[in-house]
Structure 1
């Protein structure tokens, strides 16, 4: 069967860039941020403990699997509450995470391939993650993001 390609959808992580180095960096950036802004939270939740809390939040909240940003905020809220920290730190902590999450290193051929594809058909980004096409500098290649 032959048919014309009318659009392409992409998941971003592990398609345009590898996620593993980002994930490791995010954990460390968030820990360092907590050490500076909420030492009690950092002491209670070093990297491995925060990762366990995040995994538990994911497991306990399947209704949020489509929204990893909401799950991340839920994890941060719980860590801050459990350590007696000021909940006003939630959004600044999330922003530290979000900034680090959107620092990506593209696969060598990814940008050229994306530009060639986007010149021929509309490209849509589909993800449950936190990649921000504007911050990354890719929004101009995509017709839609969900």
Structure 2
């Protein structure tokens, strides 16, 4: 554990989810492959390739740059855009979208949360209020983490995604604790560290690849604390 800045008294914690509380490697990629197979089950999309889906996703983003704040809406609009290029009746779009999104969400939550994460959150939750702030679409209820958190906020659904201020402000408001006393923990230097500090939070960077933070391209400012493994936060108890 490295300290780069002096810290105020910590009164609450907020956590990023993906690659902070569990290994998210290949989870989204696998879920997209399963979703693609579902779409390919329709004759009109039988030859759809993942590269074509990704290209369509970029086209949707170019048309509506703000859509990236909500990854669920972005995915739905991408599927709809693909359907518009087929002869599938518009009346069937909702069914296709529901089936493919349900498939994606099912596989999106097929991850194992380490026991070390459960152990840490159990200990922290006895002393501090905890909350989750994610730019993704993981439902903490589906991965066994809901008991630890007072609430979970998601980009798009609860304001623009990190590092923008709305979602941080809402977390502070819902916790009823000054942002200067909330430690946000995350693995992303731009969305988590820069976002937290620019919005008055304390920041803890979990350096999952154990690289020199001063040599990382995304470093805009130093966090208050740097760790390489989540259980190191027990040192703050």
Where on the TM-score scale, by shorter chain, does this alignment land: which range?
A: 0.7 to 0.9
Give the Å deviation of 1:84.
2.6
CA contact (8 A) 1:33 1:93 kept: yes
CA contact (8 A) 1:65 1:128 kept: no
CA contact (8 A) 1:6 1:122 kept: yes
CA contact (8 A) 2:11 2:128 kept: yes
Structure 2: which 5+ residue stretches go unaligned?
Answer: 1-5, 154-237
After TM superposition, which residue ranges in structure 1, 4 or more long, deviate above 4 angstroms?
A: none
What is the TM-score of this pair, normalised by structure 2? Answer: 0.55
Q: Which has the higher contact order (CA 8 A, sep 6+)?
A: 1
Aligned match of 2:124 = 117
Q: Which has the higher strand share?
A: 2
In the comparison of the two structures, how many residue pairs are matched?
144
Distance in 1 between the 2:59 and 2:116 partners?
A: 36
Aligned match of 2:44 = 40
After superposition, the C-alpha distances for 1:106-137 in whole angstroms (9 at most, x for unaligned) are 34622222222222211111112110111122
Q: C-alpha root-mean-square deviation of aligned residues, in Å?
A: 1.9
Structure 1: which 5+ residue stretches go unaligned?
Answer: none
Distance 1:59 1:122, change over 3 A: farther
Secondary structure of the 2:26 match is: helix
Secondary structure of the 1:141 match is: coil
1:87 to 83, 93, 106: 93
Q: Which has the higher helix share?
A: 1
1:18 to 16, 23, 29: 23
Distance in 2 between the 1:119 and 1:50 partners?
A: 45
Distance 1:119 1:56, change over 3 A: farther
Secondary structure of the 2:14 match is: strand
After superposition, the C-alpha distances for 1:86-114 in whole angstroms (9 at most, x for unaligned) are 31311221111111112223346222222
Distance in 2 between the 1:100 and 1:131 partners?
A: 11
